[in-house]
Amino acid sequence: MNENRQMFSGNWSCADCGKAITELPFEPRDTSNLSCFDCHKAKAPKRNNNFERKMFNGNWTCAGCGGSITQLPFEPRDTSNLKCRDCFKNNK
């Protein structure tokens, strides 16, 4: 099997930075909106690595042990059957 990706040679320019593009991994249909490798990379959606999980503060009661729950990683709709972290862990 040939896994080499075919490259298309040409003489295009990047619509974002104006840099010349001489090779593309695909044959462009619309050459008016091409992006060079750098701009393409910059436009790609970034993965948010420092994603902080939103915590909801409240004053709920654990249905298992009766202890108080002050923080949850979600906003509970039904507060009658909430469990604290320990009870949640123990209830497999």
Identify whether the C-beta of residue 8 lies closer than 8 Å to the C-beta of residue 27.
yes
15 is an interface residue for Zn ion by CB under 5 A: no
Identify whether the C-beta of residue 21 lies closer than 8 Å to the C-beta of residue 30.
no
Would you state the structure tokens that stand for residue 34, as one six-digit string? Answer: 């091409």
Q: Find the shortest distance in angstroms from Cβ 7 to Zn ion.
A: 18
Window 66-85: contact mask with Zn ion (x via CB under 5 A) = -x----------------x-
Contacts with Zn ion, residue ranges (CB under 5 A):
14, 16-17, 19, 36, 39, 62, 64-65, 67, 84, 87
